[in-house]
Amino acid sequence: MNFNAPEFALFFPVVLLVYAALFKRERPRELWLLAASYFFYMSWNWKYAGLLLLSTAIDFLLGQRLHDAHDPAQRKRLATLSVVVNFGLLGVFKYFNFFLDVTRDTLQLFGRELPFQPLDVLLPVGISFYTFQSLSYTIDIYRREIAPEKDFARFALFVSFFPQLVAGPIVRAVDFLPQLHGERRISSEDFREGLFRVFRGLFKKVVLADLLANFGVDAVFASPSSYSSLDLYLALCGYAFQIYNDFSGYSDVAIGASRMMGFKFPENFNRPYLAQNVREFWTRWHISLSTWLRDYLYIPLGGNRGAKGRTSFNLMATMLLGGLWHGAAMNFVLWGAYHGALLMFARSADRHSREQVGAGLLLWRRLVCFHVVLGGWLLFRVTSLEHLGEYVQGFARLSAGTQLSAGYFGALALALVAHFSSQAQIERFGQRIAALPAPLQGALYASLVLVFCALTLQAP
């Protein structure tokens, strides 16, 4: 079940109604959210709920053991076991076949064959998110930054909470678990702002991201040789805003739905195409992932504390893992390597980017950074090196003219306005909607649900 699926338009109101009825009874409401979260996950494939439960149980038990252990060697073994189990499950279900294919292709260059067959398994939805989330819990206990959760149901709810289970943001235990303890309050402001955030996210996903894909991006990437260089460029720009609205739209729905139930999650995107350099881009793009990689990989590797060569290695290793986290394919590896190289070369120049500059230079820096990031999105979107070569050859033709429809240009223009509107402007718009009479608000949101469902059902 996706947020933009018509089923979610039925599922979420039911969850809210029962949650409201149980609101003053702490244990029942938590068990209801846990049951709803597992139902949400099982709607994709019920068999993989066992994998989610297994990962949850292992880290719950290891967290308790880590807290009770005092011998440094034993604590290190327990933390290592958590890392091995979590990345082992992730590796088997998400990366085994990818590395098997890479190894087979490499051996074939030397005339050798690999006597192993790919695993016939589905990729469990959300496994990258809940693995990183659960793993951060045991690592934080190992570092003695948090105490373990003593209630298994609450910990299971932290791992499986349905708004952010399959698409993020990656919420850490230190941010979520304390919200399960003590008295819960939901103000009318929380509910209104959360509801507006949900519809804002659906608008990003269903209207902006999907229309950009359907009106031009998918067709151009499917056959780059059939389009002019200008169209290739416009489609690549469109893809940059498509993937932003896709990812950030899901995060907005997650943050908004959670707030309607009284939970507050950290922001995950902050208008990334306003960045002046690649380092700033990564403070604005998928913030929960970039900070996770920083805190649990880059800094433990040594961060920027060592020699220049060691720092470069740490950056590249971190970004390669970040690329692989998005998917088990070579294009994601290349995308991670591309950003790793950019961060390596940009470190010395970052101090100049933070200086106060005039409007003209600020605009120039943002344009340059956007186009540098655009090169990464090309690597992210293509499906093979041959596909990449075809796209690059299309650029080299330097041909003009366009086959893209007016609908595509309208969707792209709307995406630009939405992205570059300030947070204050968006909040004022939300306040105007909140000021409408309740029946009118209800009619407006109900109409939007019908529009979103119609667009989703008509999508190819």
Quick check: is 326 catalytic?
A: yes
Q: With H, G, I as helix, E, B as strand and everything else as coil, classify residue 7.
A: helix
Q: What tokens appear for 51 in the block? A: 């994998």
Report helix, strand or coil for 9.
helix
**Catalytic residue from among 67, 326, 339, 387:** 326
Query: 60-73: string of b/e by CB count within 10 Å (b at 16+)?
Result: bebbbbbbebeeee
CA angle 96, 98, 104 (to 5 degrees): 100
Distance CA 146, CA 159 (A): 16
For residues 133 and 172, is the Cβ–Cβ distance under 8 A? yes
Per-residue b or e along 392-418, where b marks 16 or more CB atoms closer than 10 Å to that residue's CB:
eebeeeeeeeeebeeebeebbebbeeb
For 429, the token pair is 């718009």
Q: Is 266 helix (H, G, I), strand (E, B) or coil?
A: coil
Two structure tokens written together for 65? 């053991």
Residue type, 342: L
Say how far apart CA 133 and CA 116 lie, in whole Å. 32
The answer to whether residues 165 and 128 touch, using CB atoms and an 8 Å cutoff, is no
Q: How far is CA 77 from CA 71, 86, 300, in A?
A: 10, 14, 16
Any residues with CB less than 8 A from the CB of 293 and at least 6 apart, and which?
318, 319, 321, 322
Question: What tokens appear for 257 in the block?
Answer: 């739905």
User: 32, 193 in Cβ contact below 8 A?
Assistant: no
Instruction: List C-alpha distances in Å: 67 to 16, 70, 77, 283.
Output: 35, 8, 13, 32
Long-range contacts of 58-62 (CB under 8 A, 24+ apart): 58/82, 58/85, 59/86, 59/134, 59/135, 59/137, 59/138, 59/155, 59/159, 60/148, 60/149, 60/152, 60/155, 60/156, 62/138
| 455, containing H or E segment | helix 438-458
List Cβ neighbours of 357 (8 Å cut-off, separation of 6 or more).
365
| Per-residue tokens: 425 | 């402007």
Q: Which of 265, 279, 274 lies closest to 240 in space, CA to CA?
A: 274
Catalytic residue ranges? 326
